[in-house]
Amino acid sequence: MRLFAVALGFCALLAQGPARADAPSDPLSWLGRIASAAQRLNYVGTFVYQSGGQVETSRIVHRVEGGVEYERLEVLDGSPREVIRRGNEVHCVLPERRTVIIDEAAGRRAFPARLPGSPGGLAEHYRIRKGEVSRVAGYEAQSVVLEPRDNLRYGHVLWAEMQTGLLLKSRTVDAGGGLVEQFSFSDLQIGGEVDPALLESRFDQGEGWQVVNARGNDLDERDAGWSLAEPLPGYTLSSVMRRPLGRERGEALHMVFSDGLAAISVFIEPVGDASAIGLGPISNGAISIFKRTVNGHLVTTLGEAPEQAVRRLGESVRAREQ
């Protein structure tokens, strides 16, 4: 489960020449530009991630060719890690473990592709307004502020490049305005040609490497066998699938609930000795985690959402009566 969580928590991201357009005046139009820019522009840059005492620098290369997105992300600090995306397939490369985890990019949103393709529905859960214009990584950037309408989601401030709409900086804040996490480009080139060699792994994945297939099989909600006793306001079920846990461990049911920006995952797997599991709420940087056992299964709920939202959803998970 731990290796599987690394794959889910780490994989994905997103490609062709800058589109010059007049800057829109309303904040919802800005959200639309931000959502599309990360998918249609070519860009190469370095960004810094901050959460609590954690600071991490990554290099990203993104290219679009023939309508297909290609991307390579390399973490430059600590243990070497690399994510390579070709279309919908993602390879997470962990050289110290000599392991490659293969998954799918569908449904994932990571910096700078933080917004859904159709962000208009976010106004139901957030008050959205334009902020000030400032400079990020040498570019003029328009800020857009999303203030949550309840305590079940964090607030966000997004800075978009004025000409293209590409997200340059993203800040997540708690109810008191404190920093939860932040992504920010320190240098960036938007548009132009991207050398295909920059998209290739720099690690030789030869003999002795392990390949883990973490791709799941989509399920109909009616076939999941699990549901919520009470819905979490604003969060709807966006996907259900079964994912492999590894040799002799069977599969986990993976359900994702989202409000269009925040997403909470629920993993349900058979469990033997519940006393050996750390149950209850857990904090892991910007990720809130809640665990409980239900009918001989371990239910793990996690997401970039306030602890009360993750816990409330986790406590509502139940097995459907047959």
At 273 the pLDDT is: 61
β-pairing verdict for 99-104 and 210-213: parallel
Q: Which of 96, 45, 54 is nearest to 74 (CA)?
A: 45
Q: Is pLDDT of 20 > 50?
A: no
The secondary structure of 209-229 as a DSSP string is -EEEE---EE--GGGSSEEES
pLDDT in tens, 197-230: 999 999 988 888 999 988 888 889 888 899 999 9
Per-residue CA distances from 68 to 21, 32, 165, 254 (Å): 23, 20, 20, 27
Any idea which residue has 């203030």 for tokens?
A: 147
At 172 the pLDDT is: 96
Q: Is pLDDT of 308 > 60?
A: yes
At 263 the pLDDT is: 93
Sheet containing 167-173: give its strands across: 126-136, 139-148, 155-161, 167-173, 179-190, 43-51, 54-65, 68-75, 81-86, 89-94, 99-104, 210-213
The mean pLDDT value for 161-176 works out to 96
The mean pLDDT value for 308-314 works out to 96
Name the range with the highest mean pLDDT among 106-115, 182-191, 220-229.
Answer: 182-191
Q: Which two tokens stand for residue 71?
A: 């991307």
Cα 166 from chain centroid (whole Å) = 17
pLDDT in tens, 36-61: 999 999 999 999 999 988 999 999 99
With residue 159 as reference, give the H or E element that holds it: strand 155-161
The mean pLDDT value for 276-289 works out to 77
Q: Is pLDDT of 277 > 50?
A: yes
Q: In percent, how much of the chain has pLDDT > 70?
A: 88
| Distance from C-alpha of 262 to C-alpha of 266, rounded to nearest angstrom | 14
| Distance from C-alpha of 177 to C-alpha of 92, rounded to nearest angstrom | 33
Using CA atoms of 236, 245, 297, 234 in order, give the dihedral in degrees to the nearest 10: -10
At 279 the pLDDT is: 77
At 275 the pLDDT is: 52
Q: Which two tokens stand for residue 224?
A: 């999941």
Q: Which of 73, 159, 152 is nearest to 115 (CA)?
A: 159
At 254 the pLDDT is: 95
Q: Is pLDDT of 4 > 60?
A: no
Band of residue 278 on the pLDDT scale cut at 50, 70, 90: low
Band of residue 9 on the pLDDT scale cut at 50, 70, 90: very low
Q: Is pLDDT of 299 > 70?
A: yes
At 8 the pLDDT is: 41
Band of residue 274 on the pLDDT scale cut at 50, 70, 90: low
CB 316 within 8 A of CB 301: no
In whole numbers, what is the pLDDT of the chain averaged over residues? 88
Say what the pTM is: 0.86
The secondary structure of 76-87 as a DSSP string is -SSS-EEEEEET
With residue 5 as reference, give the H or E element that holds it: helix 2-10
Domains of the chain: 2-199 (2.50.20.10), 216-319 (3.30.200.100)
